[in-house]
Amino acid sequence: MKKKLFLFDFDGVLVESLDVYVQAIKWSLEKINMPIVRNEADYLALFDDNFYVSLQQRGVDLDAFFKALLSYTEMMGGDYYADVKPFFFMPPILETLRQRHLLGIISSNSLGAIENIFARNQYNSCFQAIWGSDFAFSKKDKIIHALETFQMTREDTYYIGDTAGDIREGKLAGVLTVAVTWGWHSREKLLSANPDYLIDSPEMLLTL
């Protein structure tokens, strides 16, 4: 079997975290007098494109935003993502994929947060590498870096995401895109980004 590279988004694909981040981002933006997220729909709209690009397009100063997010983390006792849980159905799928292929994570979240969530839930990590927001904001750039790191072709690489922005960045990187319907964006929103694959069940990842 030919070895392939599977690159996963984190939030909404591997873990259930929407409520946690809506609250954190809403508070942080209000802290810097940029109350552009009033509800879940406002938050999800930031992921029609790259999350950080969307913030900047709405006039958000990213340095001020990160300082506010740090304040929120401190207010919450150093760990506002304590309630984030892995989707129960993903570990066996990842374990099977790991035996056949290379796996990585490309996320807008930070490396520290991802590693903390994995450790807290005793998640048996199957990933050879994790690239978060502290590496780069652009998922397109991170996907290209992953291709170079693993020396894989675009034809043998899949980016698995749950938002239209994920799919658009995967397409910009030239890899195959897989939209999953158990995450943050609706099926209709995902289809609008024209993914190469749209899947309703994680078991379908094993058929790629």
Question: Is residue 125's pLDDT more than 80?
Answer: no
Question: Is residue 164's pLDDT more than 90?
Answer: yes
Q: How far is CA 62 from the centre of its chain?
A: 18
For residue 8, what is the DSSP state? Answer: E
Place of tokens 């802290």: 31
The model carries a pTM of 0.95
Which domains does the chain possess?
5-16+85-207 (3.40.50.1000), 18-75 (no CATH)
Question: Is residue 124's pLDDT more than 70?
Answer: no
Of the candidates 52, 4, 49, the one whose C-alpha atom is nearest the C-alpha of residue 172 is 49
CA distances, 121 to each of 101, 175, 195 (Å): 24, 31, 31
Structure token digits, residue 103: 């796996």
Residues of the chain with pLDDT > 90, as a percent, come to 87
* CA distance linking residue 28 with residue 151, whole number of Å: 39
9-66 residue pLDDT tens = 999 999 999 999 999 999 999 999 999 999 999 999 999 999 999 999 999 999 999 9
Question: Of all helices (H) and strands (E), which one includes residue 187?
Answer: helix 187-192
* CA distance linking residue 74 with residue 159, whole number of Å: 33
Provide the pLDDT for residue 2.
83
* CA distance linking residue 178 with residue 202, whole number of Å: 11
Q: How far is CA 146 from the centre of its chain?
A: 15
Question: Of all helices (H) and strands (E), which one includes residue 180?
Answer: strand 176-180
Question: Is residue 123's pLDDT more than 90?
Answer: no
Provide the pLDDT for residue 122.
65
Kindly tell me the sign of the dihedral angle through the C-alpha atoms of 68, 70, 71, 72: positive
